[in-house]
Structure 1
Amino acid sequence: MILKSLPKLSLVFSSINNSRYLANATQRFISSRRTTTIITTPTSRVVKIRVKTPVPIRSMSTSPILPQTASEITAEDQVQQVKLLTSTDDHYGGVIVELDQPMDSTTFVSILRASIIHWKQLGKKGVWIKLPIHLVSLAEALVKEGFWYHHAEPKYLMLVYWIPESPNTIPPNATHRVGIGSFVMNEKHEVLVVRENSGLFQGTGVWKFPTGVVDQGEDIYVAAVREVKEETGVDSEFLEVLAFRQSHNSFFEKSDLFFLCMLRPLSSDIQMQNSEIEDAQWMPFVEYAAQPFIQKSDILKYMNDICLAKIDGRYSGYAPISTSSNFSEQQYYLYVNAGDLKRSNS
């Protein structure tokens, strides 16, 4: 009842003038109150946010307050129900939102703003919103609310937002692409080489090692074996990483890590990949190394020297050793100089 919110009165108002005074005093008291917006989260938690708009109240009658009149004047109990975006906490004080249900832009912005207020009250920092391709129409609304693109994949767009006024510490998008080159030599000292019918080497006549890009979630040694099989049809066994090279601005302003890998052939018959490969063959290593293009390239000449040193037993590369982590049950591979490590431990 509204009388519970008023100071206790010790007088009985029996005249019309007195009841008009009481009604006016009650109205002034209620109008001065502020509303509270109750935000309900998907987990049924209740979050209170103060709103500065005065509570609308009904005009009060000049007649004495009756029980039914008092029950109608419950302005301070009025609340506004607002939904929040479902989110999970990341490991760095931020939240991750994976949108799925379609909604119009106006409704989405209302829910988004309430969610940001809620996250700010919780002291959250970065906001990651994963926008699936079927909700791409909401991208413009997010950008207008201060979000920016972080990265894109075939089925989603990731946008981010920084809540506090402190410097933004959201990490940038992936900076490197990982590639491999496979040095495969048989017992005759013949190396497996290919000619490409696309890319930088198209039409040059240059013979080169099978190369490719490591897929997402794929280990380097697996990618090396896969690329050899895809391009030439030859089965092989991974031995070592012989060396690696880093370059910059190589692919859409990204840097590139290229790993030179040594593999042992398990078969010899060549079945060419016609979509990417113009030709493939086993070629004597000295003939491969004598190509004018390779002789003019410092990095390729170094790679050849490394391969020859490995063949002669004067060089040790890095073999993958399966390891575990304290933070995941997934297996990881540490590439180490296994020979020297074994001798050192013995």
Structure 2
Amino acid sequence: MQRSLSRLSPLRVANNLFLPLRLLPPRHGSAALSLARRIPLQFGIQARPRAAVRRAAVGSMSRPVDSASPAAEAVAAAVEDKVRLFSSVEDHYGGVIVEMKEAMDSATFVSMLRASISHWREQGKRGVWIKLPIELVNLVEAAVAEGFWYHHAEPKYLMLVYWIPQSAHTIPANATHRVGVGVVVMNEKDEVLVVQEKTGIFRGTGVWKFPTGVVDEGEDICAAAVREVKEETGIDAEFVEVLGFRQSHQSFFQKSDLFFVCLLRPLSFDIQKQDVEIEAAQWMPFEEYAAQPFCQKNELVKYIIEMCSAKKKGKYSGFTPVLTSSFTEQKNYLYLDRTGISGSGSK
């Protein structure tokens, strides 16, 4: 029997291993185990730890098997060489991240997922992140059925997460805030740059307002303020300071909102408005802007007007950006009132 098994090609053995091994009598178990261990691994198959595979193999058989028997050892070794695990990288908090790239059916996905989770559980891993590209949307339902839940979504992928320990999870929530800017651009004539919008809550109201917008991913607040002014009015400007900011909640799809009021100095003056979103744009005397009924009724806008008035009189200091590093070598902006600050902390 051992000689006949040794004449089988490795590929044939790999494809037909389970049936012959289940039919082997116990006395041939050692030969089968030796054969299974000699199966080459150059088929792109990642082996599972023997203890985890043995439990999976024994638990999946239709009749109870003594895990200590030679036949059970042979089956476990065969499964060990056949079952694939997902490739993963470790995160910083004792978990793993899987970036899915290979197309597969749901059954194959679930089989690999269960084997991988068993493997990660033995390693003491905690959170499991699966980054699922939009092309593999067919696997979402299978992952959710296995206990994964949605963490966040981007245009090209969905991030799913799973908690292995039998305890309350410590997975951090998805981003909770959106960041916006409102931009005051004031020239030397005490005129402010204002617009009327074609869309949004001010459409058709006749209200003149400051340019506003949302900060893009990876964009600094100071850069976003300059960009929004350029996009909406064609005016080039330089950032001066943050006059103040407001936090609100339950704003955009139940997310919180951080809104930064920024002061800019114009570098050009000829307006070229954006036609898609902007109905009109102009330079308006500051006092005329402040006298609008809307400005007099809105509490937030009234505070902005007071800040601007105090700033014109030299009685108010906002927060200027200082480029600095913190816990890494990456540079970030710290916004602060530089009055009385030597700047010795910056390089």
Scaled to the shorter chain, the TM-score interval is 0.7 to 0.9
Q: CA RMSD in A?
A: 2.8
Distance 1:75 1:127 in 2: 30
CA offsets, 1:155-183, max 9 Å, x none? 01111111111111111111100000111
One-letter amino acid of the structure 1 residue matched with residue 226 of structure 2: V
TM-score by structure 2 length? Answer: 0.80
Distance 1:141 1:177, change over 3 A: same
Distance 2:274 2:280 in 1: 9
The correspondence of residues 5-16 of structure 1 with structure 2, limited to 5 A, is none
The correspondence of residues 1-346 of structure 1 with structure 2, limited to 5 A, is 27=26, 46-48=48-50, 49=52, 50-51=54-55, 52-53=58-59, 76-78=73-75, 79=77, 80=79, 81-327=82-328, 329-342=329-342
Between the two proteins, what is the percent identity of the paired residues?
Answer: 63
Structure (1/2) with the larger helix percentage: 2
Alignment gaps of 5+ in structure 2: 3-24, 63-69
Contact 1:42 1:86 in 2 (8 A): no
Distance 2:60 2:181 in 1: 66
Contact 2:232 2:273 in 1 (8 A): yes
One-letter amino acid of the structure 2 residue matched with residue 337 of structure 1: D
| Structure number, greater radius of gyration | 1
> After TM superposition, where is structure 1 displaced by more than 6 Å over at least 4 residues in a row?
28-31, 40-43
Distance 2:272 2:297 in 1: 30
CA offsets, 1:117-143, max 9 Å, x none? 011111111111111010011001001
Contact 2:29 2:74 in 1 (8 A): no
Specify the alignment match of 1:21 in structure 2.
Answer: none
Contact 1:247 1:257 in 2 (8 A): yes
TM-score by structure 1 length? Answer: 0.81
Aligned to 1:282, the other structure's residue is in SS state strand
Distance 1:344 1:157, change over 3 A: closer
Alignment gaps of 5+ in structure 1: 3-25, 57-72
Post-superposition shift, 1:311?
1.4
Post-superposition shift, 1:340?
2.8
Post-superposition shift, 1:77?
3.5
Distance 1:331 1:344 in 2: 16
One-letter amino acid of the structure 2 residue matched with residue 145 of structure 1: E
Aligned length: 300
One-letter amino acid of the structure 1 residue matched with residue 109 of structure 2: F
Aligned to 1:339, the other structure's residue is in SS state coil
Structure (1/2) with the larger strand percentage: 1
Specify the alignment match of 2:14 in structure 1.
Answer: none
Distance 1:264 1:256 in 2: 26
Distance 1:87 1:294 in 2: 55
Distance 2:100 2:59 in 1: 31
Aligned to 1:150, the other structure's residue is in SS state strand
Distance 1:147 1:257 in 2: 31
Post-superposition shift, 1:342?
3.0
Post-superposition shift, 1:46?
4.9
One-letter amino acid of the structure 1 residue matched with residue 124 of structure 2: G
Contact 2:48 2:85 in 1 (8 A): no
